[in-house]
Structure 1
């Protein structure tokens, strides 16, 4: 687990600790029933808050953003939005898109990454492959059951 050291103290905080704090705050502020609710429309605000809280810490983390890292096709036609750009995933994240998700429309998601792991409200401990985040796993499971 990546550790974050503050400039003013010797306390060590992990990304997981910060994510756990922020997700409890979001549950209380937005009245979500569970952490999945954060990832259904508030993932961008959640990631921004986590990054804000780590901005004074010595840690190199950033957004895992499906749009700015060219993960999804952003054509002018509505029906093409949300299809994963296989080549961009391979180049940017050094991983393969699961066969179940190739050419399929999926939702939009923003998460936190430190180039080793990927984190979001449902996954504070992080996963090494972005497609192991629960957000992507739900789509994979849904496609496999249909």
Structure 2
């Protein structure tokens, strides 16, 4: 694991008892086995507890690092080549909200889940949202 960037590789193989091996699988050195993930420290939660964001499914270490760097600082690199989908960004946005009351967060989650992700979720963060927004708007 590359702890300097929170990058790691894991798979869904199981041991003899049926527990996930995750990053301790002996086959992770094989090309094409497992996928790359990144972990980012988030601000402390309202209760003062540590929070982390983990995203994975990247085919290479470089792809995971690029997505992690982009989430840490969106001005890094060309956002039109972002490896982060709008759905992933919206989930990150929801996960990092600290200020609103719980009832407001429920409304945000409802709108993101029912309106934004179905229409815009598969798009890259760097792509123009104009077409997707036109599809969302009721006319």
Provide the TM-score with structure 1 as the length reference.
0.27
Question: Rg bigger for which structure?
Answer: 2
Provide the TM-score with structure 2 as the length reference.
0.28
